[in-house]
Structure 1
Amino acid sequence: MDFSGLQATSAITDEWKYPAADPNRSGLLQVDTAPDHKLYWEEYGNPAGEPVMVLHGGPGGACAPVMARFFDPARYRIILFDQRGCGKSEPTVAKAGPTVALIRNTTDYLVEDINALRAALGITGKMHVFGGSWGSTLSLVYAIRHPQHVASLILRGIFIGAREDLHYMYQGNAATFAEAPFALTEPGSYVTYPDEWKAFVEVIPAGERGDMMGAYKAIFDMVPASDADRALQLRAALAWSIWEGAISNQIPKDDDAGKFGDAEFALSFAQIEAHFFANHLFLEPDYILGNVDRIAGIPMHIVHGRFDQVCPLTQASRLIDALAAVGAAPVSYVRTNAGHSAMELQTALALSAIMDGLAPIR
């Protein structure tokens, strides 16, 4: 029997409204010393247009030129940049190691980096802030702290980052996996992706699976004393990265891990995420939900995939409930028949439609 035609993709392909383009300009902005953190940035679209600050996911996910395609290049001045430690920013965790690139790499610093980039690019008024997954977290934190700079929030795949949210993705049934690998003992992403989950879990010895994030973090924090240690760190980084990549799409690409399977990407991505998650995103408990009154006056648009297994839809529900409690509500809330990725067809089209319909910055 030939089942080759069953594998398809939910990703956007030829449906983009706006074409791929090269950046107008790019550069490295030094934002800190000891270490000398430099942010790589790119600008697309209309240099005199309404500024849009694009905040990528992860943390540690980095930007890609395709992210500029959500926006009308005649209307918007589109700013993409790689956050500390990843992508084309310097130093990266992959090249310099965590003992260098994770120094002064916290949410507080990332928020102030946005202001440094605003100043360097001459953005003096309000801007649209566009972020997905961890980028939605950072967008919300930035808006809470600097509401005067934000004209609107356009958020995808809401990530609140509570312990229960992280456990859903990284812990699941790992503690009992050795005895009953397919038992539904706890809620989690593994329910839908059992084979991918097996590859993620089996990096960690059975006796250490009661705290999967802690076990992975211990591997990343290890100072390698041998080639075997370095191989273990790379294996762990790839397993962490590929697991997230696989469950990000409603229809995974079984034969192609994409950037998530690239060693350099994975070493930065996995170690930055583990660093932030081990430190509760460097935020006080319920920081976002407890401070939504500060952003009640900012127009907010939310797009969330109904089948998201990285950031389940309940996270958007909690944010909307918190907004309702302070008398606010999103201008639009679109639940797409999609998973987590911004590049899934319905989600990508919804985000572009929102950007096309935004009230202009006055």
Structure 2
Amino acid sequence: MTDLSRLQSASTVTDEWSYPQAEANRSGLLQVDEAPDHKLYWEEYGNPDGEPVMFLHGGPGGACAPVMARFFDPARYRVILFDQRGCGKSVPTVAAAGPEVALVRNTTDHLVNDIEALRGALGIEGPMHVFGGSWGSTLALVYAIRHPAHVASLILRGIFLGAPEDLHYMYQGNAASFAESPYGLAAPGSYVTYPDEWKAFVEVIPASDRGDMMAAYKAIFDMQATTQEQRDLQLRAAIAWSVWEGTISNMIPKDDDPGKFGEPDFALSFAQLEAHYFANALFLEPDYIVRNIGKVAAIPMHIVHGRFDQICPLTQASRLVDALAAAGATPATYVKTNAGHSAMEAQTAIALTAIMDALPPIG
């Protein structure tokens, strides 16, 4: 390995894992809705009689992967991974069935109800640990607000509160003035740290439409494509959206390998699900989590956030901690790692595993 390749992989977890990759004990599809027939793909890892952990992936649309079970001691925990509506191995997916099918009955309320349905179907009767990162942290908090008795602890990574300014930071930046001044610092944003990747994301959209980048991308995704040229544009836009997020998730991006974010099926589901939720303000009332934080103030909350996170800047964790303080509570753990956004960055993976190892037993 060259010095440069070592640098490129320096922030990614490798030998730091405490627990080996294991096979799932079992898996299945759970039908949770009709018209369309949404079915959730789920997997169970670890000790079938252990303390239950419900793992909530990011995105929306990020899907799960077996590596996500490695944060947890397999002798202690019963870990449930599942793909949320419209993505991964759940059906229908946006990529396979199209948004006109897979985005129907696909809202935050539906996802919260899905967690309850899965909990019941898998026989989890008492409280469980709820573990979520990025959009998964949003969903975990909303679930806990609505079902506090079912949550023993919240383990949250890369806090995402979803306010308009949080989205503008990542998707709008200097796009409106990019044609005249591509390197101008017209507004705060992720583009400041990733200018080359930002160029690829911005230039999918004509200069005249860059005043609202998310709306411009959503218009492409919503287009009824009748020609190959239109279908190619939709795929190009989905991959650009997906690769932009995937690349800037890491403090040190892998320039030559976008991984799953560059794969057409993943990108079509991921980008269109995110655009769908963001265009609808996450299907939540403004400041929903902050205004309702008192309902979860008694639940032990463990927060890990990368100091250099450019998808969910650290200020979002600060807002959550301040809201907890106003409700008379403090996080049980609050770790700021020298990392970016991804849960797979070494310091963040170590911190999350350490928290899970140190949790007091449920009950």
Whether TM exceeds 0.5 here: the answer is yes
The whole-number CA distance in structure 2 between the counterparts of 1:34 and 1:139 is 26
Q: 1:7 Cα shift?
A: 3.8
Q: 1:4 Cα shift?
A: 3.9
AA aligned to 2:8 is A
Q: In structure 2, the residue corresponding to 1:310 is in which secondary structure?
A: coil
Q: How does 1:45-194 map to 2 (within 5 A)?
A: 45-194=46-195
AA aligned to 2:69 is A
Q: 1:225 Cα shift?
A: 1.2
AA aligned to 1:263 is P
- Identity of counterpart residues, as a percentage? 78
The whole-number CA distance in structure 2 between the counterparts of 1:83 and 1:279 is 17
Q: In structure 1, the residue corresponding to 2:139 is in which secondary structure?
A: helix
Q: 1:6 Cα shift?
A: 6.5
The whole-number CA distance in structure 2 between the counterparts of 1:43 and 1:301 is 23
Structure 2 residue ranges without an equivalent (≥5) = none
The whole-number CA distance in structure 2 between the counterparts of 1:114 and 1:63 is 15
Q: Does 1:291 pair with 2:304?
A: no
- Tell me the TM-score normalized by structure 1: 0.99
Q: How does 1:14-33 map to 2 (within 5 A)?
A: 14-33=15-34
Q: In structure 1, the residue corresponding to 2:288 is in which secondary structure?
A: coil
The whole-number CA distance in structure 2 between the counterparts of 1:319 and 1:255 is 35
1:63-110 per-residue CA deviation (whole Å, 9 max, x = no partner) reads 000000000000000000000000000000000000000000000000
The whole-number CA distance in structure 2 between the counterparts of 1:189 and 1:265 is 23
C-alpha change, 1:256 and 1:358, in structure 2 (3 Å) is same
The whole-number CA distance in structure 2 between the counterparts of 1:15 and 1:148 is 34
2:204 maps to which residue?
A: 203
Q: Does 1:248 pair with 2:234?
A: no
Q: In structure 1, the residue corresponding to 2:304 is in which secondary structure?
A: strand
The whole-number CA distance in structure 2 between the counterparts of 1:195 and 1:3 is 22
AA aligned to 1:344 is E
C-alpha change, 1:176 and 1:3, in structure 2 (3 Å) is farther
Q: In structure 1, the residue corresponding to 2:292 is in which secondary structure?
A: helix
Structure 1 residue ranges without an equivalent (≥5) = none
Q: How many residues align?
A: 361
1:233 maps to which residue?
A: 234
The whole-number CA distance in structure 2 between the counterparts of 1:103 and 1:312 is 31
Q: 1:41 Cα shift?
A: 0.0
The whole-number CA distance in structure 2 between the counterparts of 1:79 and 1:60 is 17
Q: In structure 1, the residue corresponding to 2:271 is in which secondary structure?
A: helix
The whole-number CA distance in structure 2 between the counterparts of 1:304 and 1:160 is 13
Q: 1:3 Cα shift?
A: 7.3
1:8 maps to which residue?
A: 8
Q: 1:15 Cα shift?
A: 1.4
The whole-number CA distance in structure 2 between the counterparts of 1:111 and 1:6 is 41
The alignment's C-alpha RMSD in Å is: 0.9
The whole-number CA distance in structure 2 between the counterparts of 1:246 and 1:8 is 12
Q: In structure 2, the residue corresponding to 1:288 is in which secondary structure?
A: helix
The whole-number CA distance in structure 2 between the counterparts of 1:125 and 1:149 is 6
